[in-house]
Amino acid sequence: MNMNDIIFKKRQGNVLTRKEIEFFISGYTKGEIPDYQASALLMAIFFQKMTDEETFYFTDAMQHSGDVIDLSSIKGIKVDKHSTGGVGDKTTLIVAPIVAACGVPIAKMSGRGLGFTGGTIDKLESIPGFQTSLEPEDFVKQVNEIGISVIGQTAHIAAADKKLYALRDVTATVDNISLITSSIMSKKLAAGSDAIVLDVKCGKGAFMESIESAEHLGQLMVSIGKAAGKKTIAVITDMNQPLGNAVGNSLEVQEAIDTLKGNGPKDIEELCLRLASYMLLAGEKVATSDQGYEMAVKALNSGEAYKKFIEFVKRQGGEVSEGKKEIQLPKASYERKLIAKEEGYLFEVEAKQIGMASQHTGAGRETKEDSIDLSAGILVHKKIGDYVKKGDCLATVYGNVEEKIEKALFEAIKAFSFCKEPIEKLPLIKKIIE
């Protein structure tokens, strides 16, 4: 077999065999296939697409290109959750303790942020003392003892994806449904949980802008998960505007804490309860998602979910004050308000634009190697459909470097557009694919 023939075959729009896909993934992971040939194949896949069967083989080959975690020593049905990436998405910090408080074990590996999207591991690291890397035995022990652990994904999970994702990022081949599916599902399948709930983001701040493409992605991921023997559910959710109000690491952790205490923004609370309901269903704690929703509401309202969060944070080394069980998060030195210069109904609060503005404050990275400012970010005070008067505060920008704040303000204002007529609020949950 040789790479030239494989590239030619895909370029002509033909279907690759399992053996050809395995040859590519294994050769590229080992460094035997150079980046220029891998790039050519990615571009051919981008234009000619892959069938569902090819996508399954691609996923399977990537899943087995690194470690496959065995979580069988953890009791119960382990349920993982994954978001395809968005702005202000702190749902894991809320959903995981709700679900764990209901008795479904969470043994989760999460990633870091890149570009305009954030990552759970960066958010958790804004809690002073919090350890995101644990030895495998400690990870398993913690889940068996307290029902929850979230750690950073090791370098050895889906090794091929690590290399390929970086290559896709610089060859304009990220937004292909088969490549996104195999990238996400190879990591989820290798991470060892028994069931997976996928939050597929749809809108201007997501890879998938249209509902049709988000549905296609959701359906493909669900069928790949099922073919691998895992119960998989996809929830298509809106990502036209940021989720909740906070964008930026410690700001998002604070919002997650507020939500767990019952004082968070209603959109994020509702999404978390719905995601939790499907995780409880996948974990076989309940027979229907409505029962799951009821159980999740009880865990939230009783304070059990917040208690579980505090237990989880303390167990992973995070500092929690003894008496009131509070967490002191880092605070930025400067804040500036973004004031509305016009009046009207908010027609857009573009998630991607807010994500980029937040990146300018120092909260996000441009390359994987960049360090980030955990206290920086943006609080957005208005949502699509709100009526805004001249002089109202649209957002507050936080940071530690004044020039960065200036740049962020300049970018953030572009996210807001106004119209004269009232417009409907966007539904947050668009579709469930089971």
Report d(CA 308, CA 431) in Å as an integer: 29
Q: Smaller CB distance to ligand URA: residue 180 or 379? A: 180
By beta-carbon proximity to ligand URA, the closer residue of 179 and 388 is 179
Query: Which among 89, 161, 194, 267 is annotated as catalytic?
Result: 161
161 is catalytic: yes
Smallest gap from residue 180 Cβ to ligand URA (A): 4
Chain residues 80-139 in contact with ligand URA, contact rule CB under 6 A: 84-85
Nearer to ligand URA, 197 or 384 (CB): 197
* Closer residue to ligand URA, CB minimum distance, 76 or 115: 115
Task: Output the DSSP codes for 123-152.
Answer: HHHTSTT------HHHHHHHHHHHSEEEEE
- For 115, 116, 365, 379, the CA distances from 171, given in Å and listed in that order, are 15, 18, 19, 33
Smallest gap from Cβ 17 to ligand URA, in A, equals 23
In the complex with ligand URA, the residue whose CB is nearer, 176 or 254, is: 176
Rule CB under 6 A: say whether 202 interacts with ligand URA.
no
The set of residues, in sequence order, having a beta carbon less than 8 Å from that of 88 and lying 6+ positions away, is: 118, 242, 243, 244, 245, 246, 247, 252, 351, 354, 380
For 40-76, b/e burial (b = at least 16 CB within 10 A) is bbbbbbbeeebeeebbbbbbbbbbbbbbebebeebeb
Q: Which residue is nearest to ligand URA (CB)?
A: 183
Q: How far apart are CA 401 and CA 261, in angstroms?
A: 32
CA distance 145 to 162: 31
Identify whether the C-beta of residue 61 lies closer than 8 Å to the C-beta of residue 224: no
Provide the minimum distance between the beta carbon of 102 and ligand URA in the complex, in angstroms, as a whole number. Answer: 27
x-marked contacts with ligand URA along 163-182 as a string, rule CB under 6 A: --x--------x----xx--
Quick one: which of 55, 149, 178, 183 contacts ligand URA (CB under 6 A)? 183
184 binds ligand URA per the rule CB under 6 A: yes
Angle ∠(187,191,194) on CA atoms, nearest 5: 115
Is 168 annotated as catalytic? yes
By CB under 6 A, residue 214 contacts ligand URA = no
List residues near ligand URA by CB under 6 A: 84-85, 165, 174, 179-180, 183-184
Q: Which residues are catalytic?
A: 82, 161, 168, 183, 187
